[in-house]
Structure 1
Amino acid sequence: MSDRLRTAQGREIAFDRVEGEGPGVVFLGGFRSDKEGTKALALEAWARARGRAFLRFDYSGHGASSGAFEDGAIGDWFEDALSAIRALTEGPQILVGSSMGGWISLLLAREHPGMVAGLVTIAAAPDFTESLLAEMSGEERRALEQTGRVARPSDYAPEPYIFTRRLIEEARGRLIFDRPLHLPMPVRMLQGTADADVPVPVALRLLDHMTGPDIRLTLVKGADHRFSTPECLKLVAATVLKVGGRAG
């Protein structure tokens, strides 16, 4: 059973932690995903095998953590991640952010660079709420205004995903592309060319937007948004090693 952390905001965050050497590795999952996903578990197994400290957790409203998913927003999940890292890790960490977790990891690196030893993003989806709004039909926009929510089918769950007006409006204070993004730590972006949810132009735009001494983008031909084939998982682990300052 997972341990639980109570945040200053009163939310109960479920987490699993591996003790080990640093810099530790923290996995930040995507929208509606949880800490039991393929990438999180594979990275934990890799960390255990090498004696590395590792943390995976569920944002509020996700997985085993408290709260309802539809009540949450990017700022809430950013606060959850910040609380978990502050309370459950020691020293600067290597953040591995997948999809929405890439957005949250970029916020952490921008606002708390001293906490981040290195950054690895997997199909990072910064500002996806703005893209979502831009592609909504007139009917969906009216539903969002009148009911505060829109349901959209998902390739990752049998039930549709719910996007709320609060999610979109709150995110405007957490955008990445609306201000400079200087990242002094090593940054490695991983992106599949067959990703239908976060296409390659998003990664290229993010690469162009970032400034810093050590930023690289790796494109993997044929990889989709899940980025969970054995080859992709090996690449994630190898990339963590490259930014981690030590071999293992």
Structure 2
Amino acid sequence: MKKETIRGLNGYDIPCVNNLSGGERRIVIISHGLGSSKESPTAKSMAAALSEHSIGSFSFDFPAHGDSPVDGELLRIPNCLNDLSAVEAHVRVLGTKADIAYFSSSFGAYINLIYLATRTPLGKKSFLRCAAVDMPGLFRNSTSPEQYTQLKEQGYIIPDFDYIRPLKFTREFYADLEEHDVFKLCRREMALIEMIHGDADETASVVDVRRFAQQFGARLTEVKGADHRIMTPGGLKQVIETAVRFFTAKEG
């Protein structure tokens, strides 16, 4: 994997990794989940599997994640969308003739859906793992009254989650979430979407994902007994195999 840093539209650098050789017919942009990074086990496994089918991959860190040089003050939905836009433009330069597609997890899937719905994406094919389709509701339900008081008084909270690096969530980030409801923003025709989700996911409810899949015509695979990370025995293998089938399938 080749590491590089690109300049984002927001004025800070975006750390990236890719396995591109220059002759790929398809390049998949990989977006990680909240608290994760461009080099998560799933991202690495996905990149390796795609390369076996001559499909390239390009992963990047969202603001305040992984090797990102900025902190949670810049973790805003518009900034994440701009970062994805900058990455996509860079990928187009690296692979001028390649078809662009997306693989995203949890929060990354939420961002990808907003991007597909509100920007002018170059790709029209997206695979969503453990998609947090109701991210606003997820934060509402997981934020305690004490944390809401902290948000009001100091403008941010730093929850004690098992993340790679501590994450600061600001009042502005919470406001961004409330302004971006994918059930209101998305359209059936915006992309070909396939999803995979654990039916025992206690973070992002499979009930919401079933509703999203039905409303927008997405194909949904449910993994029995799997939690939000789908790390049950054989879970990661099923994610990779399902995604590879999606990305290698002939169109039409």
TM range (shorter): 0.7 to 0.9
SS in 1 for 2:183: coil
Paired residue type of 2:37: D
Seen in structure 2, the aligned counterparts of structure 1 residues 47 and 9 have a Cα distance that, compared at 3 Å, is same
Contact map agreement 1:127 1:171 (CA 8 A) in 2 = no
Which of 123, 139, 144 is the matching residue for 2:146?
139
CA distance in 1, matches of 2:8, 2:140: 30
1:239 matched to which residue of 2? 242
CA distance in 2, matches of 1:208, 1:220: 17
Matches of residues 41-80 of structure 1 in structure 2 within 5 Å? Answer: 41-80=44-83
TM-score by length of 1: 0.86
TM-score by length of 2: 0.85
Identity, % of aligned pairs?
25
Q: CA RMSD in A?
A: 2.4
CA distance in 1, matches of 2:200, 2:56: 32
CA distance in 1, matches of 2:62, 2:155: 22
2:192 matched to which residue of 1? 186
More strand by share: 1
Which stretches in structure 2 are left out of the alignment for 5+ residues? Answer: none
Query: For 1:133-153, what per-residue CA distance to the aligned partner results, in whole angstroms no more than 9, with x for missing partners?
Result: 255333322221111123433
Contact map agreement 1:96 1:119 (CA 8 A) in 2 = yes
* 172-181 or 52-61, larger mean C-alpha shift: 172-181
CA distance in 1, matches of 2:190, 2:8: 28
Structure 1 moving runs of 4+ over 4 Å:
158-161
Seen in structure 2, the aligned counterparts of structure 1 residues 162 and 27 have a Cα distance that, compared at 3 Å, is same
Paired residue type of 2:36: S
Paired residue type of 1:139: E
CA distance in 2, matches of 1:6, 1:131: 31
Which stretches in structure 1 are left out of the alignment for 5+ residues? Answer: none
CA distance in 1, matches of 2:199, 2:28: 26
| Residue 97 (str. 1) matches residue 104 (str. 2) | yes
Query: For 1:151-204, what per-residue CA distance to the aligned partner results, in whole angstroms no more than 9, with x for missing partners?
Result: 4332x3388654221111123333212345324432111100121211211212
* 68-77 or 130-139, larger mean C-alpha shift: 130-139
1:196 matched to which residue of 2? 202
Contact map agreement 1:130 1:168 (CA 8 A) in 2 = no
Query: For 1:78-122, what per-residue CA distance to the aligned partner results, in whole angstroms no more than 9, with x for missing partners?
Result: 211111011123444221110001101112222346522311111
Seen in structure 2, the aligned counterparts of structure 1 residues 230 and 83 have a Cα distance that, compared at 3 Å, is farther
Query: For 1:186-232, what per-residue CA distance to the aligned partner results, in whole angstroms no more than 9, with x for missing partners?
Result: 2111100121211211212222332x5xx211110011111245623
Contact map agreement 1:25 1:93 (CA 8 A) in 2 = yes
Contact map agreement 1:31 1:99 (CA 8 A) in 2 = yes
Seen in structure 2, the aligned counterparts of structure 1 residues 244 and 159 have a Cα distance that, compared at 3 Å, is closer
Paired residue type of 2:106: S
CA distance in 1, matches of 2:50, 2:220: 23
Q: How many residues align?
A: 243
